[in-house]
Amino acid sequence: MSEELIISKIEQEKEEYIEFLRKLVQSDSINPPGNEKNVALIIEEYLKKIGVKTDIFPFGNNRANLVAYLNESFDGRNLLFNGHMDTVPPGSEEDWKYPPLSAVIKRNKFIYGRGTIDMKGGLAAMVIALKILKELKIEVTGNLILNAVADEETGGEFGTGWCIDNPLKSIKCDFAVIGEATDFFPLTKVIHVGEKGRLIIKIKTCGISGHSSFPAISKNAIYMMSEIIEKLDKIDDYIPKSEPPIKLEKLKKLIADSFPSEDLFNRILNEQPEIQSLLQSLTSYSKALTMIKGGIKENIIPDSCEAILDVRLLPNQQVEPIIEALKKLIRDDVGYIVKDDSTSPPGEVFVEIKVVTASEGSYWENWEESDDLRDFYKLVETIYEKKPFFFLMPGSADAKFIRNDGYCPQTILFGPGKSRNAHSIDENIEILDFIRAIKVYAIFAYKFLSKK
């Protein structure tokens, strides 16, 4: 009965929900610098009207995290909804069809703007789900915790990372959903049970500068870098082997389950090199040299050259062995001294290795045994009228803070929006997708919190 009540309330109040999402999109929370407090205040005002108390935790310059609860008791099963309030910068505004903070509605079908997908759509849907349960006064035994966070787009340490260590620390979490966009267009909806880690390393070669008319007495840092690049693939031999949490064949099967037949899936797989390379990237670590910079003038031998190596780790892969492997390669195979910082006397030839950012991956080991997850899956299938599939995320999100260190391993990512359009120009969300996500969140929360 309550499910029908929830659905009919959502159908009646659609327009109000769309306006709430538009308001979130219109408020500037571009990170950097952040300004997430703008969004937190809108959420607070929206929830205050229905008697939900919110705690806002300000920090920095106009930044904040927010926590709100459905009720006062934490003795039953607690469900956590997590969504980030910050967005990536829109880039050049002239490239957009409509201004990025306008939240223009087109053809009554789409809302345009920075953050519609990543992830004010998912965040708004979670806030609304909390409001629905509160307003319908549905009796539950557990508690719904809403956590709207800052800083996700710049690492998450001051957002989800901080919340888990502070206001949420003493609260037992039994299941968590992060509302990131998980529509795998042209495939169906995805429920992510793991994510890869990310390691950004700066490699700096330090040589000796000199006049380019007699290069022999100098040491060209660009040449040094090219020697490293040439041997870079050998690093794979030095990195301890890590098993992917889900093997390639199993991953294929997980996607195939969402297709009418396995034959059809195999046909599509053969025609789509993009899906093949995605599957490949989810079962192995990967590395890519993404930036290089060297030289200051056409007639000077450069004494420094910098490159950025972007490494994506499997969920169980550690950062340290990768750094050690790179150092070993440069020392033993290329033959240069390796240092952690470049404050050395001039004239010394060496290579500096620095970690720019490091975030480990995460994975929910026992997801296949969870009844709650099965319920979630079935609900998505019913609401979206299509089978979703379980998968791993190639990128990295805030789930590591919640899953790792044992806080709440049973964390999934699921939300409205096509994930490939996140961070893009003309980012837009389909209104139907947004409304469906509200239904999934609200009904799942109701069912989850009613279980004893």
DSSP state for residue 177 in the 8-state scheme: E
Choice between 119 and 239, CB closer to Zn ion: 119
- DSSP designation for 87: B
Does position 119 interact with Zn ion (CB under 5 A)? The reply is yes
Give the HSE-up count for residue 210: Cα atoms under 13 Å, Cβ half-sphere: 13
Among 118, 195, 306, 360, binds Zn ion (CB under 5 A): 118
> What is the nearest approach in angstroms of Zn ion to the Cβ of residue 351?
35
Nearest CA to 39 out of 92, 105, 101 is that of 101
Sole window of 178-186, 204-212, 287-295, 435-443 interacting with Zn ion (rule: CB under 5 A): 178-186
Which among 62-70, 175-183, 186-194, 326-334 is the span making contact with Zn ion, rule CB under 5 A?
175-183
For Zn ion, the closer CB: 180 or 183: 180
Rounded distance, CA 376 to CA 394, Å? 22
Q: By rule CB under 5 A, what string of x and - marks binding of each residue 65-104 to Zn ion? A: ----------------------------------------
Inter-residue contact 115 to 24 (CB < 8 Å): yes
Residue 30 or 206 with smaller CB distance to Zn ion: 30
Chain position whose Cβ is nearest to Zn ion = 118
| Side-chain half-sphere exposure of 317, counting CA atoms within 13 A | 28
User: Which one of 44, 86, 398, 433 is the catalytic residue?
Assistant: 86
> Among 40-48, 174-182, 353-361, 424-432, which window interacts with Zn ion (CB under 5 A)?
174-182
Shortest gap between Cβ of 415 and Zn ion (angstroms)? 9
**Binding segment toward Zn ion, per CB under 5 A, in 20-28, 115-123, 267-275, 367-375:** 115-123
Two structure tokens written together for 205: 């070669």
Q: Which of 153/372 has CB closer to Zn ion?
A: 153
CB closer to Zn ion, 179 vs 244? 179
Active site residue 165: no
Neighbours of 96 (CB within 10 A): 19
174 noted as active-site residue: no
Segment 35-64, which members bind Zn ion (CB under 5 A)? Answer: none
| Least gap, CB of 118 to Zn ion (angstroms) | 4
CB of 352 to Zn ion, least distance (A): 32
Pairing state between β 175-178 and 78-84: parallel
Catalytically annotated residue among 44, 118, 152, 398 = 152
Is 195 near Zn ion (CB under 5 A)? no
Q: Are 38 and 29 in contact (CB under 8 A)?
A: yes
DSSP secondary structure of 305-356: EEEEEEEEE-TT--SHHHHHHHHHIIIIII---EES-----TT--EEEEEEE
Beta strand extents in 90-209 (DSSP E only): 105-106, 110-112, 143-149, 175-178, 190-195, 197-206
Number of residues that bind Zn ion (CB under 5 A): 3
The single residue listed with the structure tokens 């050395």 is 344
CB closer to Zn ion out of 119 and 193: 119
Contact (CB, 8 A) for 398 and 357: no
- Positions that interact with Zn ion (CB under 5 A): 118-119, 180
Residues annotated catalytic, as ranges: 86, 152
